[in-house]
Structure 1
Amino acid sequence: MKELISFIATRLVDEPEEVQTEQHEEDGTVTVELRVAKDDLGKVIGKQGRTARAMRTVLAAMAAKDEKRSRLEIVE
């Protein structure tokens, strides 16, 4: 899951070398943390959060396949 989010994020940002992802699982919930450069934060979130929402939707679909819940946290 984190590989897909990393792939998407690196294609959106100006500094792809700064993209970092971590994946944690607890109580059936998979949490993916996405870190990008401060200047690229807006590009990953998108207008009115549309890009972030789309990434969360893709992540939720992948998690549902494994009968789990998912969360995407975008941090600086």
Structure 2
Amino acid sequence: MSNDDGSMKELVEFVAKALVDEVDRIEISEITGNQTNIIELKVAKEDIGKVIGRQGRTADAIRTILNCAAAKLNRRYILQIIDE
């Protein structure tokens, strides 16, 4: 994995830390595929609403930022949000 790929994880982590109260309970893992990478974001149950937002708007915004950044690398990323 190159540094550029790791920066996508860091990007999601940065945004998640700004949104949640339980910063210590954030877990981010990356599953690398041939054409698509999956980033799994785990947050505390109390913070899941903050990350998803009303009608999923916050989650959609995070995905948009992730996809724009990934486009520079010619990669595709999927963000999955999981509660503990």
Question: Shorter-chain TM-score category?
Answer: over 0.9
Give the deviation of 1:51 after TM superposition.
Answer: 0.5
Unaligned runs of 5+ residues in structure 1 are: none
TM-score under structure 2 length normalisation: 0.86
RMSD: 0.8
Identity across aligned pairs (percent)? 49
Find 2:27's aligned residue among 20, 25, 29: 20
- What are the within-5 Å matches in structure 2 for residues 48-63 of structure 1? 48-63=55-70
Once residues 70 and 38 of structure 2 are traced to their aligned partners in structure 1, the CA distance between those partners, rounded to angstroms, is 10
Unaligned runs of 5+ residues in structure 2 are: 1-7
Give the total of aligned pairs: 76
Question: What does residue 5 of structure 2 align with?
Answer: none
- What are the within-5 Å matches in structure 2 for residues 31-50 of structure 1? 31-50=38-57
